Amino acid sequence: MREYLLTLCVTAAVTYLLTGPVRKFAIAAGAMPEIRARDVHREPTPRLGGIAMFGGLCAGLLVAAHLTNLKSVYEISNEPRALLSGAGLIWLLGVLDDKWGVDALVKLGGQMIAAGVMVLQGLTILWIPVPGVGTVSLTPMQGTLLTVALVVITINAVNFVDGLDGLASGMVCIAATAFFMYAYRMWFGYGVEAAAPATLFAVILMGMCLGFLPHNMHPARIFMGDSGSMLIGLVMAAGAISITGQVDPDLLNSSAGSERAAVHAMVPVYIPLLLPFTVIAVPVADLVLAIVRRTWNGQSPFAADRGHLHHRLLEIGHSHSRAVLIMYFWSALIAFGAVAYSVNSASVWVVLAIAALSGVGLVLLLLPRFTPHAPRWAENVFPPRYRRGRHRGAHAAGAMPQVGAGAPEMADATEEDEREAVPAGFHGATAIGDRSRLPQRRKISTHR
């Protein structure tokens, strides 16, 4: 465990220290696209954060190769080299897209090529463990197609969810933590050496996200861009492929007692090829909904819009920070719930705990509907978010907002208060058109 912690710290430190210089380079290179209608940020922000994340990946792999126990991963498997090759290609494609823009079909082709390179070097799905059946072997063609599909889906799922400051890096870090716990248990709990590469990939992915997250929290100073989102998506997919398609349940017979018990021990890896989708279920759900929505509207599945889950959270009244935390909560619930269920699937308490936390998550989703408001006699004491009565009365009378005791407080409101008051008509909040009459308030946008 100490070597894993060292690898984690080195990866995080290198990523963190590189992000500052990378930000200056991105500004100098002009990798600061204009704000689009679907963007949430209000000022042009540099991209290319994936450069720092790729540096952290290389540092983590290099350090692990010189540690006493982790270097055995390079001796028993070629998967770390396969990961580095595929990551290099996808990272280069992302850098080109962040700077000059790349057509969606070209990016899709590049993702398939990166996945194919990893397959050629041995990182592929050899078999699928099926509950109640056992191990189903795949032909080379079937394994290749399934591996490429899994890589492409995971990359785009992470890319689609990268819409708010700190959202993608935080969610992937949560997923990587749950993934590490599962893979570590497979290796040291059941003695399966084939789980060692996946454990290493997970801890490096955690370091990449943790190192970049301080620079990417709201308000973000730099975005990871496609060079970062596609990179961490590929690393996540590589770990899932390694532990799902290369760990034979038959190897667990001696520990679990039977093939059925061994297959049952790998429950988190089942649902639909499993672990990658259980630990990033929220981004995958967002991806599926986006494809269905755009296809139904006659648009290209790759056309950008403002219908993602994080956009909807902003529209119903959540602030930027609260929307991110809610997405974190659901990701952690699904990821760690799957791991907990795999450890003790017979426990009723695990199911009850997951159900109770799901109820808490639903309450958090509906929180704007329960936002309290202050009585009229105390409105001047409370922040603007609690002054529903005065706003409603001002709209009804069609009067100009009073420039008195209330106006300076509104001018001093935090960015979080402003975002919560943006949706026109929501809880009687002041419409954008009315607020624009105040000279001291800046007109803001909730689109990203």
Whether residue 358 is found in the same domain as residue 404: no
Q: Which pair of structure tokens corresponds to residue 217?
A: 């929290």
User: What are the beta bridge partners of residue 135?
Assistant: 129
User: Are 46 and 86 contacting, i.e. CB atoms less than 8 angstroms apart?
Assistant: no
Predicted local confidence at residue 87, as pLDDT: 96
Long-range contacts: 296-305, Cβ < 8 Å, 24+? Answer: 300/104, 302/104, 302/105, 302/108, 304/36, 304/38, 305/38
Please check whether residue 444 lies inside any domain of the structure.
no
- The H or E element spanning position 137 is strand 134-137
**C-alpha–C-alpha distance, residues 231 and 236, integer Å:** 9
Whether residue 97 is found in the same domain as residue 175: yes
Whether residue 314 is found in the same domain as residue 395: no
Please check whether residue 322 lies inside any domain of the structure.
yes
Of the candidates 177, 169, 164, the one whose C-alpha atom is nearest the C-alpha of residue 213 is: 169
User: Are 234 and 205 contacting, i.e. CB atoms less than 8 angstroms apart?
Assistant: no
Whether residue 280 is found in the same domain as residue 416: no
Predicted local confidence at residue 439, as pLDDT: 44
Is 159 marked as a binding-site residue? yes
Of the candidates 215, 185, 219, 213, the one whose C-alpha atom is nearest the C-alpha of residue 199 is: 185
Whether residue 307 is found in the same domain as residue 390: no
- Our CA angle for 130, 135, 136, nearest 5°, is 85
Angle between helices 225-245 and 140-161 (to 10 degrees): 140
225: left (phi over 0), alpha (psi -120 to 50) or beta: left
Whether residue 25 is found in the same domain as residue 121: yes
Whether residue 343 is found in the same domain as residue 417: no
Question: Which ranges in 316-414 belong to alpha helices (H)?
Answer: 320-343, 348-365, 388-397, 406-411
Of the candidates 34, 32, 29, the one whose C-alpha atom is nearest the C-alpha of residue 47 is: 32
Among 365, 395, 418, identify where a domain stops: 365
**C-alpha–C-alpha distance, residues 430 and 399, integer Å:** 12
Whether residue 418 is found in the same domain as residue 280: no
Please check whether residue 387 lies inside any domain of the structure.
yes
**C-alpha–C-alpha distance, residues 178 and 136, integer Å:** 26
How many domains does the structure of the chain reveal? 2
The two counts, helices (H) then strands (E), for the chain are 21, 2
Please check whether residue 56 lies inside any domain of the structure.
yes
Give the Cβ contact number of residue 1 at 10 Å: 9
pLDDT in tens, 87-141: 999 999 999 999 888 888 999 999 999 999 999 998 988 877 665 666 778 888 9
Predicted local confidence at residue 373, as pLDDT: 60
Rg (CA), the chain: 24
Residues 6+ apart with CB under 8 A from 118: 82, 83, 85, 86, 124, 147, 151, 238, 241
Whether residue 279 is found in the same domain as residue 406: no
Range of the domain at 299: 2-36+45-365
Predicted local confidence at residue 220, as pLDDT: 84
Among 365, 386, 407, identify where a domain stops: 365
Whether residue 361 is found in the same domain as residue 380: no
Predicted local confidence at residue 14, as pLDDT: 97
Please check whether residue 441 lies inside any domain of the structure.
no
User: What are the beta bridge partners of residue 134?
Assistant: 130
Residue 316 backbone dihedrals phi, psi, to 5 degrees? -85, 0
Predicted local confidence at residue 16, as pLDDT: 97
Of the candidates 232, 230, 225, the one whose C-alpha atom is nearest the C-alpha of residue 201 is: 232
pLDDT in tens, 270-319: 433 455 566 556 666 777 777 777 777 777 666 665 566 656 676 666 67
Instruction: Report residues of the chain scoring pLDDT below 70.
Output: 33-42, 129-134, 245-284, 300-312, 314-318, 344-347, 366-379, 381-448
Is 250 marked as a binding-site residue? no
Whether residue 387 is found in the same domain as residue 301: no
The single-letter DSSP state of residue 189 is: I
User: Are 187 and 193 contacting, i.e. CB atoms less than 8 angstroms apart?
Assistant: yes
Among 365, 386, 401, identify where a domain stops: 365
Q: Please indicate, yes or no, whether the overall pTM of this predicted structure exceeds 0.85.
A: no
**C-alpha–C-alpha distance, residues 299 and 278, integer Å:** 28
